[in-house]
A and B are shown apart, each in its own frame.
Chain A
Amino acid sequence: MSTDETFGEYGGQFVPESLMPAIEELTEAYERYVLDNEDGFMDEFRRRLADFGGRPLPLQHAESLSDRYDTEVYLKREDLLHGGAHKLNNALGQVLLAKYMGKERIIAETGAGQHGTATAMAAAHLDMPCEIYMGETDIRRQRPNVFRMKINGAEVNPVTTGRGTLKEAISETMRDWATTVETTHYVIGSVVGPAPFPAMVRDFQAVISEEAREQVQEKAGRLPDSVLACAGGGSNTMGTFHHFVDDEDVGLYAVEAGGSSLEVDEAEGVAPNSASLSTGDEGVLHGARTKLLQDSHGQIMESHSVSAGLDYAGVGPELAHLVDEDRVDAVNVDDDSALEAFHRLSQDEGVIPALETAHAFGYLKEHHDELGDLVIVNVSGRGDKDLETVLEETEKRDLDVAPDMSVLRDAAGSGGDL
């Protein structure tokens, strides 16, 4: 089915020549340390994921949601991973690998700030200097994570090009890498980029489905009918799906950000969504052939989502392939539905999800009838980072389920800055 450099027609290595030797070096290191566990790399990774990261993480039976939807719903609690999102699985793996490779410096891009935070934490933990590129728009909407990165000792470099979101941050990190490639490892934050990144990031994230598969059998005595995860670049989905891919009876749902609409404005080069799997076309971006939001000439569109972590015009090549093969269903929910789901999960279950994660719960609400009797939803991250955005976006809408937030506004005074 794939050589893991390519997934069907997707994947590959489309990068400037200056980066190619580093990619060859990384490929070799990935094969030796990750695939062959040379020098006990994977043992050390697992030990650190447990001691530093807090794994294994629970698969929680969600009682209220199960009642509400008349379906057994289980939550895979990646929000309980150190740092508050699944991102640490990958960041820790890559920073450790960079150490084994003798690299001296870490760089990374971040959208929601979760990957930047996880990388900054892993770098501090493993004593590596670290710089993070983050779009200006995302710095504004994810301030708590900017604080956390800085407090962990990372430099945060604002990216002002384009709309100042994840796409621009990735381009800028690649520019840094092209200059510093001999000493620096680029910890890419999702299953995107040139091979071997998509396969390697998937392998680091696959611990999610490895645990979930065992836990569901233990708790429910069988495999689930459906597994749901939100998809930005796709690391959360690939990690959550990987060990279920061969279980043909398990439905796999990658929930993308439908934003405010699935229509695109070709003239402006803007897609008011980030649904590259559902609506994109094949193309080449950031080192791989994959599905992209692009205009008819091949220029990449600006994407949109209320959640910074899903706001990306591309998606991982393996996920694109699994969708083409009809093994994964690419679905999407819009900003409104995600916000509503954010409030519902917080009130029903006492779990405040990231806005990214809330997309998966939005889909659960709208389609629980079609998902079978036993559903796992991956809680990719916790929502503390999103509280400012949630306040602002909730006020713009008339959501039945939202609490009255006026107490916050009153407390903050008329200038109203939390």
Chain B
Amino acid sequence: MGLERVFADEPAFVPYVAAGDPTYEESLEYVEALERGGADVIELGLPFSEPIAEGSTIQEAVVRSLEGGMTPDRYFEFVEDLDVDVPLVCMTYYNLIAQYTHPETGETGPRAFARRASEVGIEGFVVVDLPAEEAGPLREACDEFGQDLVFIIAPTTKGERLERMREHVSGYVYVQARLGVTGARDDVSDQTEESLARVDDWAVPKAVGFGIKTGEHAERIVAAGADGVIVGSALVDIVADGADPDVDQPFPETVQRLESKARELKEGALAGAERAAAERSD
């Protein structure tokens, strides 16, 4: 039960894309391509107008999606329209959750949001601007609807805070590989191993994200002890390349590129696990 299950047998590849980027129809195909490429869990972004933790790649994706009319209810429809079997995690910012009104019950706020999400099959949440201290109401709703609340551990998270978060986290812990905002990078941060070491004895799987771009990055990160890799901007860059304001059709090349990028990242993660196993047996 819970998102832990997808990390049990082999390292997980966890892609992020913004739902509805660049358009609703294209986005459906792109998410499905990620699954074909090997995604184990998909973090599906629900776009917020002020994405303060996002670098320019995802910021622009958010603008494209919002301009295409994405709203929370449209997002839930999107999830229903998606044809994927892997679990979905909703990644968003707290105001959209706080403001949400359930279309049938009329209830508003975190419980209404979690209920609606569970109705469409969303299994967990990452809420970028919701630290453990403020998470009470959403945590309760998640417990009620059997969902996981994933927390991000930053390179700055240490000491008492780390302990407090350990009590709150479920599903997996999102280990932020470097300080700063999202965005693909050309190297793997030295902070990664140190960050992983800090959560080494936690009972939940550890997924590392922020800056990962290539299969080789994924391999190094899993070899360093991660149970999964989270990749957003490197995929969104491919979506952006194929975004044409005049065409509301997924480009076959873009679908292809996303699928093969996903495969590269998944294979990198698998290679990392082999490397770690080999090092252990040495």
Contact = CB atoms under 8 A, between A and B. Distances in A.
Interface in B39-67: 48-55, 59, 66
Given A14-B130, A167-B50, A182-B156, A298 B59 contact: no
A107 interface: no
Interface in B66-115: 66, 71-73, 93-101
B170 interface: no
A181 interface: yes
Contacts of B31: none
A284 interface: yes
A300 interface: yes
Nearest to B155: A18
A300 B133 CA distance: 24
Contact of B156 (A181, A281, A287): A181
Contacts of A2: none
Given A167-B50, A178-B179, A182-B179, A298 B158 contact: no
A322 interface: no
B49 A178 contact: no
Contacts of B179: 18, 178-182
Contacts of A182: 156, 179
A286 B49 CA distance: 12
A297 interface: yes
Contacts of A161: 59
A17 to B, nearest CB: 5
Interface string B115-154: 0000000000000111101100000000000000001111
Contacts of A269: 49
Contact of B134 (A13, A16, A174, A297): A13
A18 B195 CA distance: 12
Contacts of A38: none
B181 A300 contact: no
B176 interface: yes
Contacts of A262: none
A298 B52 contact: no
A378 interface: no
A22 interface: yes
Nearest to B180: A179
B134 A17 contact: no
Interface string A334-374: 00000000000000000000000000000000000000000
A175 interface: yes
Contacts of B129: 14-16, 284, 287
Interface string A14-31: 111111111010000000
A272 B179 CA distance: 37
B94 A297 contact: no
Contacts of B71: 297
A171 B52 contact: yes
B185 interface: no
Contacts of B153: 17
A17 B180 contact: no
Given A167-B50, A175-B55, A297-B72, A20 B131 contact: yes
A294 interface: yes
A18 B158 CA distance: 11
Contact of B180 (A162, A178, A292, A296): A178
Contacts of B151: 17
Interface residues of B, number: 42
B131 A17 contact: yes
Nearest to A287: B129
Q: Is the interface of B mostly helix, strand, loop or mixed?
A: loop
Question: In the complex, which of the residues A167, A171, A182, A292 has the most CB atoms of chain B within 10 Å of its own CB atom?
Answer: A171
B52 A17 contact: no
Contact of A16 (B66, B100, B152): B152
Interface string A256-288: 000000000000010000000000011111110
A381 interface: no
Contacts of A37: none
Question: In the complex, which of the residues A161, A174, A182, A299 has the most CB atoms of chain B within 10 Å of its own CB atom?
Answer: A299
A298 B100 contact: yes
A12 interface: yes
Given A21-B161, A178-B180, A14 B131 contact: yes
Nearest to B174: A17
A244 to B, nearest CB: 32
A297 B157 contact: no
A380 B18 CA distance: 42
A217 to B, nearest CB: 42
A4 to B, nearest CB: 15
Nearest to B55: A175
A285 B50 contact: yes
A13 B98 contact: no
B176 A175 contact: no
A164 to B, nearest CB: 13
Interface in A298-354: 298-300
B66 to A, nearest CB: 7
Nearest to B54: A175
Given A16-B152, A24-B161, A179-B180, A294 B99 contact: yes
10 contacts: A14-B130, A15-B52, A179-B179, A181-B179, A283-B99, A284-B94, A284-B95, A289-B98, A297-B72, A298-B48
Interface of A: 12-22, 24, 161-162, 167, 171, 174-175, 178-182, 269, 281-287, 289, 292, 294, 296-300
Interface of B: 48-55, 59, 66, 71-73, 93-101, 128-131, 133-134, 151-158, 161, 165, 176, 179-181
Given A12-B134, A16-B52, A298-B99, 11 more contacts: A14-B134, A15-B131, A22-B156, A181-B156, A284-B93, A284-B98, A285-B50, A287-B129, A294-B95, A298-B97, A300-B49
Shortest beta-carbon contacts, A-B, top 10:
A298-B99, A179-B180, A18-B154, A16-B53, A299-B49, A284-B95, A21-B156, A298-B95, A174-B52, A298-B96
